[in-house]
Structure 1
Amino acid sequence: MHWIHNTVIYNIYPLGFCGAPKDNDFQLNYRLDKIYDFIPHFKKMGVNCILFNPVFESTRHGYDTIDYKKIDSRLGDNASFKKICETLHQNGIRVILDGVFNHVGRDFFAFKDIQEKGMGSPYTAWFQNIRFDQQSPYGDHFSYEGWAGFYDLVKLNLNNEDVLSYLFDAVRYWIDEFDIDGLRLDAANVMDVNFFKRLRGVTKGKKSDFWMFGEIVGGDYNRLANADTLDSVTNYEIYKGLFSSHNDRNYFEFAHSVDRQVGDWGMYKNIYMYNFADNHDVTRLSSIIRDKALQKNVYTMLYAMPGVPSIYYGSEFGMEGKKQRHSDDDLRRELNLNALENPDYALFEHICKLGKLRHSLEALQYGKYKNEQIQLEHMCFSMKTDNQKVYIMLNQSNEPRSLGVNTNFNGVLTDVLNGNQQYQCNGWCEITIPPMSSMILVENDGSFRIDFSENENDAPIPAAENMPAPVEEKEPELVPEEIVKGRYRHFKGNVYEVIDFAKDSETTELMVVYRALYGEHELWVRPYKMFQEIIERDGKKMRRFEKIG
């Protein structure tokens, strides 16, 4: 079984997540290093894969790429991102990057070369529909094709071998340097399918279990996701059904959509879908669902249905954000765990439970879907493997609802989502579902239960299949090290550069002179012995300043 079946994805739009400036000031700032503080948060949620939207150098929002081999200076540098990826992997968390190959920004080197040299540039064939007999909307002495009419996004010519060579070389670099495990393919629905066939050969040649999915809003998913191209696609059909089946009080919409996709006669039974309730391009769930109390039911469906569940950063707390006509800023706001806006902690705890269940129940990972009972405001579907059968019951009404299911099973149904409550089952089983709630019931002999104690939630999550689990080694005793010129990370996360040494004029005590690599790049002075000392934080010894380069 591929590792994606035992995966919970956490989707981060890095520039927003970190509160980076909208326009790139090209000042190096290690904002993405905040990810280290989120690792316990990921583990509690059962997250074992991070999907990073664009991380490479761009002019504004990340999708206007300048350099495919340089981390955006608003987030850090290649060395810092490599360490982030290494640390995530050490914690059993895989990494997927956003591959933006349909278009580049106007500051991309090849486009700027055409601006400078015109028809004499060797890169005129790198872009779609370059014409020198008319001007662009930006006043260039040539015209070109922009993605979806956005001329700050210059469409690449993916039939040009030099372009393909350049892009494939970048992907190989990402795998070699950052050890990434997969790719999201931006704007896949408007790209040449042959590009994906070639890309598949590149990635699978580097990592046989490399996983790729494409962004597609509608159309035939099989066109992009099949044995020759991508592994999966964004499941926008189910995204819509998740919230609208609750807004319209109509579970038939969700049930029939899933059955159409993966039921007995499903169109997409061979695709393990990328499922989501919101992302960086659409209004957040908490802002689009009419009754916020029903978000729990949405996430129960998301985690229990076929496909890999993905949580958009902040939505685990019910973060709000509405898509505006000319701006996505509200969807991409900064997330600070110590300064949450009206957090819904009950929703967060519910999602943490679902993460635990997703890793514990094989039926949720790769079971076969079946609609058991469907009513407008309550329903039951099942997920079944050869070894396990699970029933998912949902009620979105304001009243308790009784739901009967013919299980053909004699034994016990244990509701592992709600305190391991047991229900006797003798073929036909009728259960009352509390208002606006859900149940996940496992067929068993009465001995099955799942523990959600605090220790369980804080325990390391299972490493995704085929990923070696981190080996625990006894840490050597820390001793003060010589301080030299170079970059150091403070134990609170900020990065500084040691630029020189000095002596106190009164005491002759040796001092370290260092500059902040963030904000106003202020200069600081600290006693040498204090700079190199070993401190203790949360019961763990560490260096006050750790050398990083």
Structure 2
Amino acid sequence: MWAYETSFYQIYTLGFCGAPFENDGKLEHRILKVIDWIPHLKKLGVGAVLFNPIFESDTHGYNTRDYHKIDIRLGTNEDFAKVCKALHKEGIRIILDGVFNHAGRGFFGFQDVLEKRWDSPYKDWFNINFDGNSNYNDGLWYEGWEGNYDLVKFNLKNPAVADYLIDSVKSWIEEFDIDGLRLDVAYCLDTEFIKRLRRETDSFKSDFFLTGEMIGGDYNRIMSDELCHSATNYECYKGMFSALNSMNLFEIIHSLLRQFGPENWTLYKGRHLISFVDNHDVSRIASILNRPEHLKLIYTIMFGMPGIPTVYYGSEWGEKADKSQGDPALRPCFEKPQWTELTDTIASLCKAKNESKALNYGGFKSLLLTNRQCIFERECEGDRALVVINADEGSFHANFDARAGKGVDLISGKEIDFGGGLELSPYTAYIISKLQ
């Protein structure tokens, strides 16, 4: 699967393009801005763009009105087709946000129910009680996602709903040639719907990639050979920054051993979870870490551990934003991309991920672990990589069994000699490969 051998770049599309929060009904061709960023994506070395919602919606994209029409604030279907063609020309794949648990109040089917009540052919598309009332005083009650009544929950057990949504996906593949989907709130979706979506998308496009949003719990609920290929690794998202801020690397290494370690009982061995240090729903990592020197380290851990590393737009140059400022602060419009020393590091990490069989498919083995230092090994079919972290402000001498004495750091390109141990400067991050 192509997705296992690259890294993703996530764009919250409405924010990235500077669209107004409320759908003002005015056509603007903002989505074409993505084309201007393609040289940046190429230089960074990512292999796919994950677009958060792009279809016509009431406000933030997750309250969809029309699953067949690009949001008018972003442009037209023809505009997005042009974007997809330009990305594909440069070898960059396209993943869309599939919002299938719920629609917006402006969705045509729900509007029909509000108008025709019992006589609407769409009344069974949702979970409705005509004897109740809603927060919007509709004269009927309906189920909203987690109590949010601007998000009208679909009845996915209704074959007509599943038909409509899967036909929509088929149209996206036919019209835009998309390569995958992220399933929003996948932990809420009906399992049989996910199974059908996997079967159908496999038949539409043989290498089509499905991943799902999982906030917690067992990711195997939505991930298997019959379900999604992948799921969001929120456990290690929290574990990475928490371990660095508390100077307790045991926290993240324990999670990685639990998920991918060499024992037979590990949860996700052989699976490829979505790895991330921030996204459109959480504070940017540069605002969370107590020490800015740890930025390079946390990205090295993310790219070095098993999974599909995902970079959120703007964070590659260290942009800051806190969740307490509200979601719009996390989803800004940047005039143009920036490039910093951190971006250099992430570009090197993308290159390493693209070229290393060990980073793409290797197992996980801990070689050295203290509160402030860790070394772990990834190995696959003779290809090996050592991920080395010194989170301390002081130097550290690492003694560990690595079966070799020299290698090349894939981040800096420098030769590293660790025969007899490894001298680590403060805030060091290596991925050592080409071991001799």
Q: 1: distance between equivalents of 2:408 and 2:271?
A: 30
* SS class of match (1:292): coil
The structure 1 residue matched to 2:344, chosen from 342, 349, 352, is: 349
Aligned to 1:105: 104
Cα distance, 1:26 vs structure 2: 1.3
The structure 1 residue matched to 2:253, chosen from 244, 252, 255, is: 255
Aligned to 1:286: 286
Answer whether contact 2:269 2:363 (CA < 8 A) is retained.
no
Counterpart amino acid of residue 51 in structure 1: L
Q: 1: distance between equivalents of 2:381 and 2:129?
A: 60
Aligned to 2:191: 193
Cα distance, 1:321 vs structure 2: 1.2
Aligned to 2:415: 421
> Greater CA deviation, 147-156 or 348-357?
348-357
Q: 1: distance between equivalents of 2:289 and 2:9?
A: 21
Aligned to 2:3: 4
Answer whether contact 1:251 1:375 (CA < 8 A) is retained.
yes
Q: 1: distance between equivalents of 2:317 and 2:335?
A: 11
Q: Do structure 1's residue 436 and structure 2's residue 436 form an aligned pair?
A: no
* SS class of match (1:189): helix
* SS class of match (1:444): coil
Q: Do structure 1's residue 175 and structure 2's residue 173 form an aligned pair?
A: yes
* SS class of match (1:291): coil
The structure 2 residue matched to 1:140, chosen from 130, 138, 141, is: 138
Aligned to 1:244: 242
Q: 2: distance between equivalents of 1:162 and 1:377?
A: 55
* SS class of match (1:141): coil
Aligned to 2:305: 305
How many aligned residue pairs are there? Answer: 434
Aligned to 1:225: 223
* SS class of match (1:69): strand
Counterpart amino acid of residue 309 in structure 2: P
- Between Structure 1 and Structure 2, the one with more strand by share is 1
Counterpart amino acid of residue 258 in structure 1: L
Cα distance, 1:7 vs structure 2: 1.2
Cα distance, 1:443 vs structure 2: 4.2
Give the alignment of 1:77-476 within 5 angstroms: 77-128=76-127, 130-265=128-263, 266-324=266-324, 327-337=326-336, 345-409=340-404, 411-423=405-417, 425=419, 429-445=420-436
* SS class of match (1:379): strand
Q: 2: distance between equivalents of 1:439 and 1:181?
A: 32
How large is the RMSD of aligned CA atoms in angstroms? 1.3
Q: 1: distance between equivalents of 2:413 and 2:229?
A: 37
Q: 2: distance between equivalents of 1:250 and 1:424?
A: 24
Cα distance, 1:163 vs structure 2: 0.7
Identity of aligned residues (%): 44
Q: Residues 30 and 372 of structure 1: is their aligned pair in 2 closer, same or farther, counting only changes over 3 Å?
A: same
* SS class of match (1:407): coil
Query: Alpha-carbon deviations, 1:20-53, whole Å to 9, x = none?
Result: 1000111111111111111111111111100000
Q: 2: distance between equivalents of 1:54 and 1:114?
A: 24
Q: Which runs of 5+ in 2 are unaligned?
A: none
Query: Alpha-carbon deviations, 1:158-203, whole Å to 9, x = none?
Result: 0111111111110100111111110000011111111100111110
* SS class of match (1:244): helix
Aligned to 1:20: 19
Q: 1: distance between equivalents of 2:258 and 2:215?
A: 17
* SS class of match (2:403): strand
Give the alignment of 1:31-70 within 5 angstroms: 31-70=30-69
Q: 2: distance between equivalents of 1:162 and 1:348?
A: 46
TM-score under structure 1 normalisation?
A: 0.77
Q: 1: distance between equivalents of 2:160 and 2:409?
A: 57
TM-score under structure 2 normalisation?
A: 0.97
Q: 1: distance between equivalents of 2:32 and 2:291?
A: 36
Answer whether contact 2:373 2:390 (CA < 8 A) is retained.
yes
Counterpart amino acid of residue 193 in structure 1: T
